[in-house]
Amino acid sequence: METKVLKASENSIKKAAKMLREGEVVGIPTETVYGLGANALDVCAVRKIFEAKGRPMDNPLIIHIADKKDISKYAKNLPKTLDNIIDNFWPGPLTIVLEKTDLVPKEITGGLETVAIRMPENQVALDIIRQAGVPVAAPSANVSGKPSPTKAEHVKEDMDGKIYLIIDGGDCEVGVESTVIDLSTDKPAILRPGKITKEMLAPYVKIESVVENVEKSCTPKAPGMKYRHYAPKAKLLVYEGVKKDVINEINKDIKANAFKGIKLGVIIESEHKNSIDCENVYDIGSELDEDEVAKNLFATLRKLDEDEVDLAFITVFESRHIGKATMNRLLKAASYNVKKL
């Protein structure tokens, strides 16, 4: 099968919508990361997503809608807080887990009685969903375990020969996946951190818990979070401490590894890149701009593989806002391999 990449346009959007209606899988841009979309109500189409990604069937998918009102088709027993939350954060990078209706096939929810729903903000995504006229199930469009795709070329890398069409809507603005909140119980929880933080949600819902590291708890609430994730082939080591000490330690470790025949890389903020004594320094963006760092994270991890880096040293990033989500993804990618100074 040949995989076409078409720039987003009236024509290509029409084509994508038609393919979705006909039960095919299409790579689509969203504001967070690229998704691998299929008609959520077509079980055969949904199975193709799992196949293309190599995703375990017990890891549920998010249903993407283009009209807030559609939520009541797929979710029931809606909590009172919901209207306010949707009014403030949809369309946008917030996924909400609710009790599912019978319309939602179990193939999407990994057998759970709950369903995750999101209305994306990206105009191309909204146009595709609207024109398809069906709800669109979409996980991130990477091969399971790899960093999520934030550019159409990342989707092509992972999905070449596995799907017919990718719509290129340019770089994803947010760069980390949506925040997932669980409103299906009376204890609202953040199951996956993202751009929408607990503090931003506070006026509308009291979040009782934030799942920071679901791998270490026995029964993961967001099943996807228990798998190895976001990881490049390179081994990653994260340095935690005062910046000056981190820089010294990284430079020391570069020297110590210099003649081992492995390729080293360093990921660091723009302000510090000139203090690092290594051939392959990756600028992740300004330490003053958490949004920029989030946007660049996955592309930078993919760049390590492209450059065949074997071992990469990385600083802890500022994490007051979206940085929490960035660090959550980075630590998973690094398998929690942290050097504390």
Q: Provide the binding-site residues for Mg ion, judged by CB under 5 A.
A: 140
- Closer of 115 and 268 to ligand TXA (Cβ): 115
CA atoms of 249 and 16, how far apart (whole Å) = 50
Residues 174/31, Cβ–Cβ less than 8 Å: yes
Closest Cα to residue 216, out of 335, 52, 47? Answer: 335
**Chain-centre distance for alpha carbon 322:** 13
* 300 in contact with ligand TXA (CB under 6 A): no
- Closer of 142 and 315 to ligand TXA (Cβ): 142
Using DSSP, state whether 326 is helix, strand or coil: helix
The answer for residues whose C-beta is within 8 angstroms of residue 46's C-beta and 6 or more apart is: 38, 39, 40, 61, 105, 107, 108, 137
Which of ligand TXA, Mg ion, none does 326 bind, CB closer than 5 to 8 A by kind? none
Size of the site for ligand TXA (CB under 6 A): 31
- Closer of 135 and 223 to ligand TXA (Cβ): 223
Q: Which residue is nearest to ligand TXA (CB)?
A: 224
Residue 288's identity, in one-letter code, is: L
- Closer of 224 and 265 to ligand TXA (Cβ): 224
- Closer of 15 and 64 to Mg ion (Cβ): 64
* 97 in contact with ligand TXA (CB under 6 A): yes
- Residue 297's CB: how many other CB atoms inside 10 A? 27
Q: x-or-dash pattern for ligand TXA, window 187-226, by CB under 6 A? A: ----xx----------------------------xxxxx-
* 104 in contact with ligand TXA (CB under 6 A): no
Which stretch of DSSP H or E encloses residue 129? helix 123-132
Could you tell me how many residues make up the chain? 341
Contacting positions for ligand TXA (CB under 6 A): 30, 32-33, 35, 59-62, 93, 95, 97, 109, 112, 114-116, 118, 120, 138-140, 177-178, 180, 191-192, 221-225
